[in-house]
Amino acid sequence: MKSLSALIAIAALFGGVQLFHNGNGQSVAEEVTRSSTYRLVANGDEGACAVSRGAEISDGLSLLTVAPTCRRLIPGIERAKFWREQNDGTVAFSANGVDPIVTFAVADGDGYESYAPATPLLSLAGGRRTGD
């Protein structure tokens, strides 16, 4: 009877792991956290567009998708292909993974606010779509 209970427990554990990994060895939790959509807003809602943080490609460096309409907010941002998150929580968008086009600091509440370049002031908030 003890061996039957142990066998059932092992089967349940294996089934739970397979469910968590969606049956393909890749964690469902990893899939959910890989891509995040943000709303990029200029100067207190004068303009907005969507940006998406994609898969992490190295420690702190992730792919980035910027809507073409973001060019209206800050020229050149449409070239950004990388999201780099530093240990201090700052985030930089860049075309090459190194040289920032725009840099953000953690804002009060949820999201980020740009500090370089100094103008225009941009905010980056998660979880909202703009349709762009």
Mean pLDDT, consecutive 10-residue stretches, the chain (132 aa), reads 48 43 44 68 86 96 96 94 96 97 91 93 75 45
Predicted confidence at residue 127, as pLDDT, reads 64
Predicted confidence at residue 19, as pLDDT, reads 38
Predicted confidence at residue 126, as pLDDT, reads 85
Predicted confidence at residue 103, as pLDDT, reads 98
Task: Supply φ then ψ for residue 76, to 5 degrees.
Answer: 100, -20
80's tokens:
């950004």
Closest by Cα among 82, 62, 63, 75 to 122: 75
CA angle 61, 78, 49 (to 5 degrees): 95
Predicted confidence at residue 132, as pLDDT, reads 46
Closest by Cα among 103, 96, 97 to 118: 103
Count of C-beta atoms within a 10 Å radius of residue 61: 16
Predicted confidence at residue 93, as pLDDT, reads 98
Which residue shows structure tokens 């460096």? Answer: 61
